[in-house]
Structure 1
Amino acid sequence: MPRADRRPSRRTFLDVTGTMVAAGLTAGCTSDSAQPGRNAPSAAGTPTPMPVPATGRHQAGITLPQPPQPNLLAVVADLGATADAGPLLDELGRTIRALTAGDDPRLLGLPPGDLTVTVGVGPRLVRTAGASLPGATDLPRFSRERIAAEARGGDLLLQICAGNALLLSVAAAALLDQAGDRVRERWRQSARRGTNVPFGGGLAAQRNTLGFIDGIVGPHTTAEQERDLWLAGPPAVAGGTLAVLRRMELDLPRFAALSVAEQEAVFGRHRTSGVPLSGGTVASTPELGAKTADGRYLVPAKAHVRRANPTVVGTGLMLRRSYNTDEPAPGLLFISFQNALRTFTATLTHMDAADALLEFTTTTASATFLILPGFDRQHPLGSGLFG
């Protein structure tokens, strides 16, 4: 519930209101078409997003809803030296329940719709609960990084997603108001998904800033998610997962100067359809051994789908969520979820050696977080680790 002893400053109110106005000017351009089981028509005929339960075994905003909401705001913050993570997370969980139910006056009258808030804690906080726990390891540094100190790492992640872009800043302001001076914001990034492209089984991937379908491969079945996505233990983290955030600037002019065939060779897929260059359907596994009559690989040696292929790398699957960004520069906010950090680090290490796609990217922010298990009224957010 709202903190009675803290009121948003006039500057905070103006910042949020200005963001709402700006979002309102662009919301009509955001793709959020009705999906089966996702939206219900309102009396006026406008699709109304269905609510997403905030409580359960897993936090919302990872596998639910499907497809993901088109708008995202990621806020990364640090806890103060004297702040106690347990009570803070409990309060944030209560606030999330109130926001998603439409019961928090700090929503300023906006209906919550399909709003989700996903909370993660960084390696420093995880280590205070146990140095050997999943999520206690910091991300290593990689090539093609230009990351300021404030944009590397962090103690707390708030991933806020919604069909209505107006909700992002309003929900973030409410959560940060609840946290008060116990947290200090490091950086934030708003982003959006491109047009959804169905690829079978009720699944859809988005088309990214470079024009290609992004997020086809991943742990989509329940069995794959239990194997590669969700943490099975220890009990304090069971039902959670590990997230990696990487904000990347893209060299769009240089990529756009390539021919379509050259662009497709970078990805290893056809740009329009998403079908692998080795053939099949968009959902087909690329045949990395397939060759032309003169002995050339159909999927080039430096193609992204080859360098990031989990079988080639020797890792499990990662659930990838890529969002397109305009500020501070055109690019992507890449978010992956996996139950072993090595799934990401080994993949990027393999890509670093020869992936043609990385030649057009510069990473400007990077962090990893333990996404806490799901919660409810009887089991507060984070109580398994910090209770």
Structure 2
Amino acid sequence: MRPADSRPSRRAFIGAAGAVAATGLTAACESPESSPTGPSGPASPAAGPREPASPASGARVSPTGRHQAGITLPRPAQPNLLALVADVGAGVAPGPLLAELGRTVRALVAGTDPRLLGLPPGDLTVTIGVGPRLVRTAGGASLPGATGLPRFSRERIAPRARGGDLLIQICAGDALLLPVAAAALLDQAGDRVRERWRQSARRGANVPVGGGLTAPRNPLGFIDGIVGPHTEAEQQRDLWLAGPPAVAGGTLAVLRRMELDLPRFAALSVPEQEAVFGRRRAGGAPLSGGPAASGPDLGAKTPDGRYLVPADAHARRANPAVVGTGLMLRRSYSTDDPAPGLLFISFQNDLRTFTATLTHMDTSDALLPFTTTTASATFLILPGFDDRHPLGAGLFG
């Protein structure tokens, strides 16, 4: 992680590229067609449709359109992710900065930016969001994305790891691209931004869960994501912002980096671990029965009256039908630096979807005692862009 008071430069860019060659850095990006139920992600009540055939590995993903790439496209997603959070300097105009970053994204994806150092871009995607402070300066406190996250229990967050003005999410099939693309974007931003923190992460191979869906396992050994807003109708209802016009086509992202107490969880018996999640470890089926892709039957009981899905199971406490919220597009990524854990990212068009869920989990979710959150932020993911509409032009034009 770059020190908080450092600033990007061409020397830093070249240094980062050299470090990649020396260390063989690896990271990971979650598939958007699966919806993990990690420590801060709820279980969805209904499975989506069969996912479409995957494009060829490394196929180019267009960076332009109504929505930014890296949220629902590509499908399935690339296996590597780097999230970078930064601040924008006082007096810096966000509009020109974002427009430049958008042009740089297009050049990186096209492979025409010399700062790629000859690496083929393949399926590289870059997704950019702005934090509450910048949103408020552009549209006031009522605009989606203008509100930060409240504080929750089980947090140990340093001041520089909470909040931020700018999110750059980079995903790719080739892990070598992540820090190289990040260095190019920071080089383009120059002294106008200062990095707060970054996190690279990874996930395992997708596991079939039925209904044409796949999902990865998390470091706790459980299949981490089975259901979510897969259909276009669900995404229009719960994922994409419909308005006002300046943000239409965007969404809201929440980032939570968590350490996991792996030894303590591993000391539980398998039935005890399954009671924490509310699902079978081997195949992901709900403890209430049925296939993995189905939602749990929260009313099912044993003959002696006990719930098959325990009252404090994650699948129950985080269920949107129980919480009374919409669906999140949830992603979780395995990390091992600075500590073994997860980087959790959710996308939703109402921040309450996340905050109400975690508030409900905070009271008695059996999974939370195995987690400690060490970084937290929320961002307005800007609408898509193209030649006529630069990145961020609707909000900062």
Q: Same fold (TM over 0.5)?
A: yes
> What is the alpha-carbon distance in structure 2 between the residues aligned to residue 129 and residue 186 of structure 1?
22
Q: TM-score, normalised by structure 2?
A: 0.90
Q: Given the alignment of the two structures, is residue 85 of structure 1 paired with residue 86 of structure 2, yes or no?
A: no
Q: Given the alignment of the two structures, is residue 17 of structure 1 paired with residue 27 of structure 2, yes or no?
A: no
Query: 1:143-167 CA deviation, whole Å, 9 max, x = no partner?
Result: 0000000000000000000010000
> What is the alpha-carbon distance in structure 2 between the residues aligned to residue 282 and residue 370 of structure 1?
32
Q: How has the CA–CA distance of structure 1 residues 231 and 50 changed in structure 2, closer, same or farther, with 3 Å as cutoff?
A: same
> What is the alpha-carbon distance in structure 1 between the residues aligned to residue 229 and residue 12 of structure 2?
43
Q: Report the more deviating stretch, 124-133 or 341-350.
A: 124-133
Q: Given the alignment of the two structures, is residue 143 of structure 1 paired with residue 159 of structure 2, yes or no?
A: no
Query: Which runs of 5 or more structure 1 residues have no equivalent in the other structure?
Result: 1-5, 41-47
Look up the match of 2:142: 132
Q: Is the 8 A contact 1:237 1:385 kept in 2?
A: yes
> What is the alpha-carbon distance in structure 2 between the residues aligned to residue 343 and residue 147 of structure 1?
22
Q: Is the 8 A contact 2:318 2:361 kept in 1?
A: yes
Aligned residues: 371
- Quick one: which of 296, 306, 311 aligns to 2:316? 306
Look up the match of 1:231: 241
Look up the match of 1:44: none
Look up the match of 2:292: 282
> What is the alpha-carbon distance in structure 1 between the residues aligned to residue 129 and residue 273 of structure 2?
35
Look up the match of 1:293: 303
- Quick one: which of 45, 54, 63 aligns to 1:38? 54
Q: How has the CA–CA distance of structure 1 residues 303 and 89 changed in structure 2, closer, same or farther, with 3 Å as cutoff?
A: same
Q: Report the more deviating stretch, 210-219 or 174-183.
A: 210-219
Q: Is the 8 A contact 1:56 1:376 kept in 2?
A: yes
> What is the alpha-carbon distance in structure 2 between the residues aligned to residue 90 and residue 247 of structure 1?
29
Query: Which runs of 5 or more structure 2 residues have no equivalent in the other structure?
Result: 1-6, 32-50
Look up the match of 1:43: none
- Quick one: which of 167, 189, 211 aligns to 1:179? 189
Look up the match of 2:356: 346
Q: Given the alignment of the two structures, is residue 161 of structure 1 paired with residue 175 of structure 2, yes or no?
A: no
Aligned CA-pair RMSD: 2.0
Look up the match of 1:72: 81
> What is the alpha-carbon distance in structure 2 between the residues aligned to residue 171 and residue 8 of structure 1?
14
Q: Is the 8 A contact 1:38 1:50 kept in 2?
A: no
Q: Given the alignment of the two structures, is residue 118 of structure 1 paired with residue 127 of structure 2, yes or no?
A: yes
Q: How has the CA–CA distance of structure 1 residues 120 and 206 changed in structure 2, closer, same or farther, with 3 Å as cutoff?
A: same
Identity %: 79
- Quick one: which of 232, 235, 243 aligns to 2:253? 243
Alignment of 1:188-199 (within 5 A): 188-199=198-209
Of structures 1 and 2, the one scoring higher in RCO (CA 8 A, sep 6+) is: 2
Query: 1:327-374 CA deviation, whole Å, 9 max, x = no partner?
Result: 000000000000000000000000000000001000000000000000
SS at match of 1:279: coil
> What is the alpha-carbon distance in structure 1 between the residues aligned to residue 131 and residue 12 of structure 2?
29
Query: 1:244-288 CA deviation, whole Å, 9 max, x = no partner?
Result: 000000000000000010000000000110111011111111000
Matched residue type, 1:17: G
Q: 1:199: Cα distance to partner?
A: 2.9
SS at match of 1:100: helix
